[in-house]
Chains A and B, each alone.
Chain A
Amino acid sequence: MNRKGKINQRLRRALVTGVALCGVLLQGSAVLAQTLEVEIQIREHLFYPSEVRIPSKTKVKLIIRNLDATPEEFESYELNREKVIVGNSQGIVFIGPLEPGEYPFFGEFNPRTAQGKVIVE
């Protein structure tokens, strides 16, 4: 086999292994439970409630309603979430399953006032 053929074969083998690995990882983490929904409102650049309690190891659907006229960005380093919610609209953000602990979030456009945290119990 020539050199090019060998390289191609090696690349193909690496690709197949990679895809198979991803498949296994995805399958292992499938969550079957029904999704819990939690609503958070943004009013006057503040989050209501500012503390959201959710159970551990559970997927949760956060529904974020922005009642202000200005846009806000829901952001969290700990949750790896980032979503712009324009004024007078709402957005969905899925989080979890998470380990117990505190996961702060903030509004990037008003970081000093708009702060909150997800408490996983």
Chain B
Amino acid sequence: MISAVIIVLREVLEGVLMICMLMASASAMGHRLRWLPVALALGFVGAFSYAVFLEQISMAFEGLGQEIISASLLLAVAVLLIVHNFLAARHASLPEASAPALAVLGVCVAASAMSMSREGAEIYLYVYAFGVQAGEMASVLSGAAIGAGIGLSLGTFMYYGLRALPWRTCLWVSAGIATITGAGLVMQATYYLGQADILPGQAALWDSSSLVAESSLTGELLQAALGYEATPTAVQLSLYAASILAALGAMALARASVRTREISK
């Protein structure tokens, strides 16, 4: 049961935190949470299809389909988070210049559903094989429920914590979280690209595992929150930095575009 708790918590943590941040951010931009059921439904369908077709997906691209799909999903969500930052910064700078609801909610739905598809597929495979097929339903399902419960509680904390802030502060803080989350996703994508030998393996620049081991609880939390890596390579570090710069750049661009609009009035 303990392994079910850990597996499910590890898988849901990152996605739940991101979805709750998007919920807070979309609400701060004046949108209701009606997009959430759509995102959840798409996420469930995505996770189920990914799990069912995993064998075919794995065999695609000469056995590297899983890596290519995972990296693409991660990078797509990272790009969507950058777009989110642009939209959030624009709304925070000048609410009248806010993007149409469809753009904001589209980003929220797509990012949430893609994140759920990737993480959910693993949970489905685990619960199906070791719960349903192995006849261990009670222990696996209760473990999964505890794991999901811990993840959802943390997400709830985050959502209400962000919502308690004044709306403008909420948007800037959300964009800050999105910046770091996005960089973490890019970091994960580099693992998959390395695993598929698309990105070359390199010597690590340093090893901080004696300080914070990735397998420790702190390490896991830092990894979910910041994309913590104990032994980063030069390529990973530059992509991480590039992702942060792109997210900050998108916010600067949004502010600048609003300012020129104000001046031209």
Seen from chain A, the residues whose Cβ lies within 8 Å of a Cβ on chain B are 3-4, 7, 11, 14, 18, 21-22, 25-26, 29-31, 35, 59, 61, 69-71, 73, 77-78, 80-87, 89-99, 108-112
The answer to whether B58 has its CB under 8 Å from any CB of chain A is: yes
Considering only residues 17-62 of chain B, those with a C-beta below 8 Å from chain A are: 54-55, 58-59
The segment from B76-84, B90-98, B105-113, B198-206 found at the interface with A is B198-206
From B10, which residue of chain A is reached at the shortest CB distance? A108
B interface, over-half SS: helix
Across-interface contacts of A99 in B (CB, < 8 A): 203-204
Seen from chain B, the residues whose Cβ lies within 8 Å of a Cβ on chain A are 3, 6-7, 54-55, 58-59, 63-64, 66-67, 121-122, 125-126, 129-130, 133-134, 191-192, 194-197, 199-204, 209, 213-215, 219, 229-231, 234-235, 238-239, 242, 245, 249, 252-253, 256-257, 259-260
Smallest distance from the beta carbon of B253 to chain A beta carbons, Å?
7
A22 to B197, CA, bound (A): 16
Smallest distance from the beta carbon of A8 to chain B beta carbons, Å?
9
Across-interface contacts of A18 in B (CB, < 8 A): 238, 242, 245
From A110, which residue of chain B is reached at the shortest CB distance? B3
What would be 9 A-B contacts, judged by CB atoms less than 8 Å apart?
A3-B259, A3-B260, A70-B129, A71-B54, A80-B194, A86-B54, A92-B63, A109-B129, A111-B6
Smallest distance from the beta carbon of B191 to chain A beta carbons, Å?
4
A18 to B235, CA, bound (A): 11
From A89, which residue of chain B is reached at the shortest CB distance? B55
